[in-house]
DNA sequence: CAAGCTGAAAGTGTCGACAATCGACGCCTA
DNA sequence: TAGGCGTCGATTGTCGACACTTTCAGCTTG
């Protein structure tokens, strides 16, 4: 039942729940850019590399397809999703929609613990900005937004945010350095948190809009510069 | 540049993709109540019934799991998702968030064609209300909201709406008769469309809020009355 | 009579195999 | 030399098989 052939290289996966593990590994490879957009994900190759059979790989691929990380082309296989500038724009449109709501809700039911978590995350970002570690900053940025969604107290909203964010990571992981001035991130996040703490819905929406608007323009522009062909 | 042979080769050959077909059948069975919430979906049984092997069934089940229609329990199989009143509430929260945005965007870029489509859909609902066909009314209701999301011109938003709606269908299909007064549906939709045509964001949001708020309370109440036991 | 144990049946997780299909390469034809 | 056609290898879609788990009915026991 276990793979008998001695596969070289990668550690053989533990049994059961292979699907989730494969999905995690593939996701990781995609958001970290080891699998570039458009790259083919051959089931046989993945299976060989992990020392398992193709069945779990196929199921994991379906999972990632439904999350928008892979694209299935019948009879041809799975490919890492390619995001056009317009699709990135659409994604940010939804993020705006979702995060406005999340921030307002988070303000309505802000617990001291959630507030502290957000403050700590902001401090962390300021710290990372000083050290100039682009990857860590992007991660911390993501976590800050995620904490807001978490504080909104709607589990499904959080899942939705994760889905949008993971799709965006396809391109963001590629970009590497998202902002020219790392310190800018902390500065644009701060008013968002302040507005949440103050609890003024209009100010919250305004600041979220501004912050995401800046990020959106940046990412869209970078995506366009990456793929300038029609 | 090469000249592609047939400029319009519309009929893509029937994808021999069993997975999609199985997914469609299972989805159908769930939203039409033939598979009740909590029911076990045994792959072997489904495969036997359809005369195919288990592999495509498993993949289809994963697909539906990611859509929230099924729930996977490791080593035990797949079960039709059970929605608590709170989860339904959360779903409506997201619908509110998404449909507000969709309606405002739809108003911003309303084409005559989209406007006509919405008007026709409203007429259809009025018609169905007179005939008192609950299932058809629910379907027409769904289509009206979907048209608004379509008019918003964001493909991903539409997919998101479809996801939320299909989850809600688990319970709505169960309820059967959603409103006591069928004519009420048309009446609560009308101001939404009018606000969209008028193009006043605040009025749009207000009417969407009101309409969905009514529906939400109704569905949540019915779900609670259906499953008040632990 | 209820509770716990036992064993078999059913079902899942995974595997290797096989036919159908796709893409690429090279050959033939103008 | 450019373009179309057939063949070959590689990959996908699907299948049946097997070991391990879970479930459940029937039996034993307190």
Task: Sort strands B70-73 and A70-73 into parallel, antiparallel or unpaired.
Answer: unpaired
Asked whether residue A13 is assigned to any structural domain, the reply reads no
pLDDT of residue A6: 33
Measure the CA–CA gap between B182 and B132, rounded to whole angstroms.
7
Looking at the fold, whether A92 and A125 belong to one and the same domain comes out as: yes
Contacts of A98 in chain B (CB under 8 A): 97
Q: What is the pLDDT of residues B151-198, one digit of tens each?
A: 999 999 999 999 999 999 898 877 666 566 767 777 889 999 999 999
- Which residues lie across from B72 on neighbouring strands? B78
Total number of domains constituting chain B: 2
> Which of A20, A43, A62, A95 to substitute to test the interface with B, most B CBs within 10 Å?
A62
pLDDT of A173 reads 75
Question: Residue A216 and residue B168: Cα distance in Å, rounded?
Answer: 31
B93–A62: do the CB atoms touch at under 8 Å?
no
User: B21-36, pLDDT tens digit by residue?
Assistant: 999 999 999 988 899 9
Residue B13 — pLDDT band, cuts 50, 70, 90? very low
pLDDT interval class at B10 (50, 70, 90): very low
Tokens coding A164: 């949008």
Interchain CB distance below 8 Å, A156 and B62: no
Judged by CB atoms closer than 8 Å, whether chains meet at B59 and A63 is answered as no
* Mean local confidence (pLDDT), B67-71: 94
Do B94 and B172 lie in one domain? The reply is yes
* Residue A21 touches chain B, beta carbons under 8 Å: no
Query: Residue A78: in which H helix or E strand, if any?
Result: strand A77-80
> Of A61, A80, A99, at which residue does a domain stop?
A80
- A151 and A117 both lie in a single domain: yes
Closest C1' nucleotide to A54's CA: C15
Q: Is B156 on the interface with A (CB under 8 A)?
A: yes
- Give, rounded to a whole angstrom, the gap between the first and last alpha carbons of chain B: 65
Is B215 a residue whose pLDDT tops 60? yes
| B107-163 tens-digit pLDDT | 999 999 999 999 999 999 889 888 878 788 888 989 999 999 999 999 999 999 999
CB contact under 8 A, B157 and A94: yes
Q: Which residues of B are less than 8 Å from A93 in CB distance?
A: 101, 105, 154, 156-157
B141 and B73 both lie in a single domain: no
Which of the residues in chain A have pLDDT under 50?
Answer: 1-15, 229-230
Task: Tell me the residues of chain B between 116 and 145 that have a Cβ less than 8 Å away from chain A.
Answer: none
The whole-number pLDDT of residue B193 equals 96
A44 contact B CB<8A: no
CATH classification at residue A159: 1.20.120.530
Model pLDDT for residues A180-214, shown as the tens digit of each residue: 676 777 788 999 999 999 999 999 999 999 999 98
Tokens 């029609």, residue located = A230
Domain that holds residue B185: 85-226
Kindly state whether residue B3 falls inside one of the protein's structural domains.
no
- Of the three residues A64, A80, A96, the one that is the final residue of a domain is A80
Assess whether A32 and A121 both reside in one domain.
Answer: no
- Asked if residue B128 and residue B97 are part of one domain, the reply reads yes
Place of tokens 């405002």: B104
The encoded tokens of residue A66 equal: 């439904």
Based on the fold, state whether residues A116 and A181 are members of the same structural domain: yes
Domain assignment present for residue A4? The answer is: no
Place of tokens 């006509």: B116
In tens, the pLDDT along B40-65 reads 999 999 999 999 999 999 999 999 99
What was the pLDDT predicted at B6? 39
Q: How far apart are CA A80 and CA A64, in angstroms?
A: 9
Mean pLDDT of B199-217: 93
In a domain, B10, yes or no: no
In the three-class reduction of DSSP (H, G, I as helix; E, B as strand; rest coil), residue A107 is classed as helix
pLDDT computed for residue A5 by the predictor: 32
Which residue in B75, B91, B98 is closest to A97 by CB distance? Answer: B98
Predicted confidence at residue A176, as pLDDT, reads 60
pLDDT at position B2 is 36
Decide if A90 and B154 are in contact by the 8 Å CB cutoff.
Answer: yes
Same structural domain for residues B76 and B92?
Answer: no
Contact of B63 with chain A, judged by CB distance below 8 Å, is answered with: yes
Enter the tokens of residue B191: 């101001």
Q: Please report the pLDDT score of residue A129 as a whole number.
A: 85
**Nucleic strand D under 7 Å from the C-beta of A16:** no
**From the CA of B98, how many Å to the nearest CA of chain A?**
7
- Asked if residue B4 is part of any domain, the answer here is no
Nearest to B223 by CA among B169, B149, B153, B158: B169
- Residue B11 inside a domain? The answer is no
Of A60, A80, A100, the last residue of a domain is A80
Judgement on whether residues B131 and B56 belong to the same structural domain of the protein: no
| Same domain (yes/no): A197, A89 | yes
* Whether residue B132 sits in one domain with residue B157: yes
- Give Dmax over CA atoms of chain B in angstroms: 66
CA geometry: angle A175, A26, A35, nearest 5 deg: 40
pLDDT at B185: 74
A75 to chain B nearest CA, in Å? 9
Kindly state whether B71 is in contact with chain A, defined as any CB-CB distance less than 8 angstroms: no
Which of A17, A66, A94 minimises the CB distance to B67? A66
- Nearest nucleotide to B2 (CA to C1') is D3
Distance from CA of A153 to the nearest CA of B (A): 9
Residues of B in contact with A19 (CB under 8 A): 62
Question: Per-residue pLDDT for B221 more than 70?
Answer: yes
A104 domain-assigned: yes
pLDDT of residue A105: 97
pLDDT confidence of residue A224: 86
CATH number for the domain spanning B25: value is: 1.10.10.10
Residue A182, domain member (yes or no): yes
Q: Is B146 helix (H, G, I), strand (E, B) or coil?
A: helix
Same domain assignment for residues A58 and A103:
no
């Amino acid at each position: 039942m276990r793979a008998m052939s001695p596969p070289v290289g990668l550690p053989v996966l533990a049994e059961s729940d292979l699907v989730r593990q494969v999905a995690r590994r593939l996701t990781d490879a995609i958001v970290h850019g080891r699998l570039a957009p458009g790259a083919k994900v051959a089931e046989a190759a993945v299976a060989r590399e992990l020392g398992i059979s193709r069945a779990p790989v196929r199921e994991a691929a379906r999972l990632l397809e439904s999350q928008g990380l892979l694209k299935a082309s019948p009879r041809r296989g799975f490919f890492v999703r390619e995001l056009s500038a317009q699709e990135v724009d659409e994604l940010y449109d939804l993020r705006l929609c979702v995060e406005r709501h999340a921030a307002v809700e988070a303000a309505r039911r802000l617990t001291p613990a959630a507030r502290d978590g957000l403050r700590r995350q902001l401090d962390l970002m300021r710290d990372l900005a000083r050290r100039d570690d682009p990857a860590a900053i992007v991660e911390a940025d993501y976590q800050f937004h995620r904490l807001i969604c978490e504080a909104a107290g709607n589990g499904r909203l959080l899942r939705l945010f994760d889905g949008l964010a993971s799709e965006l990571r396809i391109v963001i992981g590629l970009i590497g350095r998202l902002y020219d001035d790392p310190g800018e991130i902390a500065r644009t996040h701060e008013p968002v948190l302040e507005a949440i703490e103050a609890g003024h819905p209009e100010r919250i929406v305004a600041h979220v809009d501004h912050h995401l608007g800046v990020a959106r323009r940046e990412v869209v522009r970078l995506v366009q510069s990456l793929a300038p062909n029609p």
